[in-house]
Amino acid sequence: MENKKRAQWGSNFGFIMAAAGSAVGLGNLWKFPYLAGKNGGGVFVFVYLLIVLLIGFTIMLGEMVIGRSTQLSSYNAYQKISKNWSFIGAMGVITGFIVLSFYSVVGGWVLNYLYQYIAGGIPSDTSAYFVSFISNPISPIFWNMVFMAATAYIVFKGIGGGIEKACKFMMPALFVLLIVISIRAITLPGAGAGIAFYLTPDLSKLTTGTIVAALGQVFFSLSLGLGCIITYGSYLGKGENLEKNSIIVPFIDTLVALLAGFAILPAVFAFGFEPGAGPGLMFITLPQVFDKMPLGWVFGILFFILVLFAALTSSISLLEVTVAYMQDQHKWRRTKAVIVLSTLMFLVGIPASLSMGIWSNVTIFGKNIFDSLVFASDILLPLGGLLMCIFIGYVWGIDKAVAEITIGGKLPFRLKGFWTVMIKYVAPIAVIVVFLNALGILKL
């Protein structure tokens, strides 16, 4: 049926919950607080906000326009506008595949932590527990399978009855849980030092490393650069206001990232832990914080439910990118696409998971399999965003894009001029500079 008439969101609110659901994920709750903790706290937050405002919004609007204009998922959308540029869409589908392969491994860890909290808690040596769990050859793979199955089930149910419905429930629930946990963290005795660390930008701590980390994080966190928002945008009706949507979605995502920092960093300070603990912050440090808190196990359960919801609303968007491609391009039925793709991604996730343990000595360019997948996505997302800017700015043309945007609403505040400059010059140049710097070609 969907092959005949394209599915649509039930309402604009449904689209916003789905797109914000895609954006709000492990990137906000797991990565953002530890990146802020590692990169000087307030100064990272400041640079991050600046990049969201300038580049995040620009690319978000760009992706929405391409999707809504063509009513096609990423690959076919580029192809419809200009045949030679469909490779950007193809790259996006591959990137979506790569990201979900490792994302669902971490989603599985979250499920396991939730299960452990419900079953009574995490052993007090949280570091030893984490290491022994992720290096186990069976249990993380089992949880990865459960996580992928849940993702597949929602996507199998379709746009309105699956993705939209799930996000309309999970996103508000997530928000309420996050507020409750943030209030608990901020009101802990000794939390002030964490709040100060988080909110005071000490510009002397600004390094190029901070800027590179923030840029990569903006792409990942806003789900940009692989055509996810193109795909979600393709289910939007012509009457919806794209420009408003492209402000609201990054706003919600950023709010949640900021709140996640409030939920985590003050508590880490209050109990005298190290904020720069890196990826272990959520799985090692935070369980220790819960251990010390009155009713900590309740907060442990609430917190991991929250993270699970966030992770699921993102993983479904990643799966949808690849499923929609199979439907649009190869005319596969949704059921077949969901089963085949989620199984393949799960299979790629197995070596990624094993690379935390028995396969840790298998390396690609010096990185283990899991880190190689993450690294590939760190490059592919900004590259996809860069190519999209070039595509809109110089191939499709700003005027056609703006004509599409204005169908559902006017462009106020001279937004057209701003967006044109951003998409043609500022965003591409910023991404190129950061790339060259990261490759060591340009020293900032």
What CA–CA distance (Å, rounded) separates 329 from 238? 23
Q: Spell out, one character per residue from 403 to 442, where the chain touches ligand PFF: x when CB under 6 A holds, - when not.
A: ----------------------------------------
- The angle subtended at Cα 173 by Cα 167 and Cα 179, nearest 5°, is 130
Which of 7, 16, 20, 28 is in the footprint of ligand PFF by CB under 6 A?
Answer: 28
Among 14, 21, 27, 42, binds ligand PFF (CB under 6 A): 27
Smallest gap from residue 9 Cβ to ligand PFF (A): 17
d(CA 414, CA 416): 5
Q: Which stretch binds ligand PFF (CB under 6 A): 12-20, 79-87, 219-227, 351-359?
A: 219-227
308 lines the binding site for ligand PFF (CB under 6 A)? no
Instruction: Choose among 192, 337, 176: nearest CA to 256.
Output: 176
d(CA 224, CA 219) in angstroms, rounded, equals: 5
- Distances in Å between the Cα of 437 and the Cα atoms of 211, 394, 422, 432, 444 are 10, 25, 20, 8, 7
Measured from the CB of residue 241, what is the shortest distance to ligand PFF in angstroms?
22
Q: Within 10 A of 58 (CB to CB), how many other CB atoms are there?
A: 25
Q: How far is CA 155 from CA 149, 250, 326, 339, 348, in A?
A: 10, 23, 13, 10, 19
* Residue closer to ligand PFF (CB basis): 178 or 191: 178
Contact between 106 and ligand PFF by CB under 6 A: the answer reads: no
Torsion of CA 172, 345, 224, 226, to 10 degrees: -140
Query: 285 is written with which tokens?
Result: 């440090």
- Is 99 an interacting residue with respect to ligand PFF (CB under 6 A)? yes
Please identify, using beta-carbon distances, which residue of 71 and 377 lies nearer to ligand PFF.
377
Query: Whole-number minimum distance, CB 313 to ligand PFF, in Å?
Result: 9
Total binding residues for ligand PFF by CB under 6 A? 15
Of 374 and 430, the one with the shorter C-beta distance to ligand PFF is 374
Residue selected from 105, 286, 318, 337 as contacting ligand PFF according to rule CB under 6 A? 318
Q: Can you tell me which of 97, 113, 220, 346 binds ligand PFF, judged by CB under 6 A?
A: 220
| Residue 26 near ligand PFF by CB under 6 A | yes
CA-closest candidate to residue 329, choices 218, 440, 231, 433:
231
Q: How far apart are CA 281 and CA 285, in angstroms?
A: 5
Options 16, 22, 320, 337; binder of ligand PFF; rule CB under 6 A: 22
Bridge partner list, 368: 363
Site for ligand PFF, residues 222 to 261, rule: CB under 6 A? 223, 226, 228
Q: Is 27 or 250 the residue whose CB approaches ligand PFF more closely? A: 27
> Which amino acid does the sequence have at 59?
I
Contact positions toward ligand PFF, by CB under 6 A? 22-23, 25-28, 99, 220-221, 223, 226, 228, 314, 317-318
